Amino acid sequence: MTKNPMTLKKGCLAVEALRILQEYKIDEIPIVDEKGRAIGLVDVQDLLKAGLV
């Protein structure tokens, strides 16, 4: 498990998720709430299904 994973805050745009996935060469990124608690996960497959990749 990664000690300090890259995360996105709730409400970020999908294009921001795509930028981070590409920049850090990762396949998924956790979504966190305002307190930093994990509330979801965006996977590159999610972006493919949405037609963003």
Question: pLDDT per residue over 10-35, tens digit each?
Answer: 999 999 999 999 999 999 999 999 99
d(CA 23, CA 38): 21
Considering the entire predicted model, what is its pTM?
0.80
d(CA 46, CA 3): 24
Find the CATH number of the domain harbouring 25. 3.10.580.10
On whether the CB atoms of residues 47 and 53 are closer than 8 A, the answer is yes
- Domain assignment of residue 24, given as a range: 8-49
Question: Is 2 part of any domain?
Answer: no
pLDDT for 2 equals: 74
Total structural domains within the chain: 1
Residue 44's H or E segment, with its range, is helix 44-49
pLDDT for 33 equals: 97
Q: Which residues contact 34 (CB under 8 A, 6 or more apart)?
A: 9, 10
